[in-house]
Structure 1
Amino acid sequence: MAIEFRVGTQIKSIRSAKKISQTQLSNGICNINTLVRIEANETSPSFELLLALVNKLGIDMEELISNVRYQNNRTYYNIKETIEDYFSTYQWKKAKKQLELISEDIYNELPIHEQQYVDIIKIEIAKHVDRNFSYAHHLANEALYKTYKDKARYFTHQEMELINIILQFDQSKKHLELTNRVIDWIEQTPEMLRDYHAYMLLLNGISTYCYENDDWQAAYNYAKVGYKVALEKQGTKFIPSFLFTEGLSLYMLNQDQEKGIQDMKDALDFCKVTGMTEFYQAIIFELERYNIILEKGQLR
């Protein structure tokens, strides 16, 4: 059940803080049972009744609304912190349970960029738990265009993350051009202002797209840049992906297969050491898909 902090909760909180009984507050305004139901959020008071209660409590309507918004935001950021902990360890189902605590009331009170953050969480849950990829794609487009305008010259972090997510579903010429335009924009941004997390996300997304479409040279080029950035900017979770893509590309290009093999081995070892089980399995799947077999600690 979603947690919602409605007017009744705040009336009860203020009444208790002022040491006013329900009998005292309701006297001359409404039946005490009506107040009990309002405070339990079982019914919503009319504007006239709410105004009478607020006046008797000695506060104004603006203060009451401010209290409701503050409580909603405090609850949201607590939930957000828990979700981020679960996401960092790929506990998608537990993250979904937390997501369900963000009510529509709380969501609608959030700034647009935080709404987009929640949308991104919904997208990842749709992908990893519900396996509803069409919904994930639809929601990603909807979330992006809450703020993004065509031919924009500036991109927010949420917009860049959503553009990268959409790349998983939309490999049209238009979206590939947009993805590369964002990468170029990041590279032209002064280093101290550069969003390196978004940069690594996009490099990872485009390098993966390239290798899945057998464009091995482009995949290698993007992965090589990404690996360098991940090492310099502590992008730990991106390292095995860039290493594997770089190694697989070299292997398939038949340029330096020995280095390619070592890169792929290093990617697997990195996953083992850091406990990235899910990504380890993803690499094994790709090795099998390309008929590269792990045998006695060697790849061939």
Structure 2
Amino acid sequence: MASSLMKRLAALFGASCAALLLAVPAAAPGHADRAVLESPADQCPTDPNYPGNIGFDGRHYRVHVPAGVPTGAPLVVAIHGGYDSPEGVEAEWGWNALADQHKFIVVYPRGTKKECQTDGSPGWGWNADAADVTHIKNVVDAVATQYGVNRKRVHLTGHSNGGQMASRAACTAPEVFASGAVYAPAPPPTGCDPARAVSWGVFASASDPIVLEPIAYGHVMYWSWENRPCQNEQPGGGSDVKDSRHWDCASGTEVLWRVYNGGSHTWPTGARRTEMMNRMWQLFQANPRP
């Protein structure tokens, strides 16, 4: 399903901003109700003899399971950006509160590449390669098995390099992931040919200095192509937006695009964050895996 045009476009985006993809400040550490196989290697010591990563695939992940969550609940896989961590995004993004409200599970996997900050705080990035996809699939399988997740309702979200990772996971493993929605994603994947159409949402900020609006829109072009034809363009509505559109696609899927006025590269806060995440959750609810 992939076209040479889309490959060239994605390559162009990648060349134009590759040096900027992971330039995201580390988030403040958070605290989860459960930490799964948490590793001492998640610290960033200066000791050259530090023993290296241990744990699940050499990494850890964090999972939030709301009280009273039923068997067969959906699972949202929240993928941090570069120079960030599962603890950081869990504390800042707001998925746990939304999960408590709607009774779904959230898992926060950890990237491959250690990218420690100058103050020693931990940060990680994604290669967005086959090994990273396999790791995320393994995390999903472990969580789904332990908590009885509905396998047709496993959804992806991510930020920046994590948005790029989410698109890579969806395009290479559509048999696992139902749909996805990302904020300020780095360039879209290349060399993927998903076996089925996947509903996708892309959110961005007009004043993002790192992932520029055309780069984020590359994901809209990519998923519109993979869901083709996507027609019946409709305005997304709402206030405080520069651009907001929605397309219905022939396969019964959908693609949406929303750009907020101003803003920055960091995950939105306040009312904007609430509005964005509600739209993401609505997309997930409407698009289980066939």
Q: Which has more strand, going by share of residues?
A: 2
Q: Which has more helix, going by share of residues?
A: 1
TM-score, normalization by structure 1: 0.27
Structure of greater Rg: 1
Bigger relative contact order, structure 1 or 2 (CA pairs below 8 A, ≥6 apart)? 2
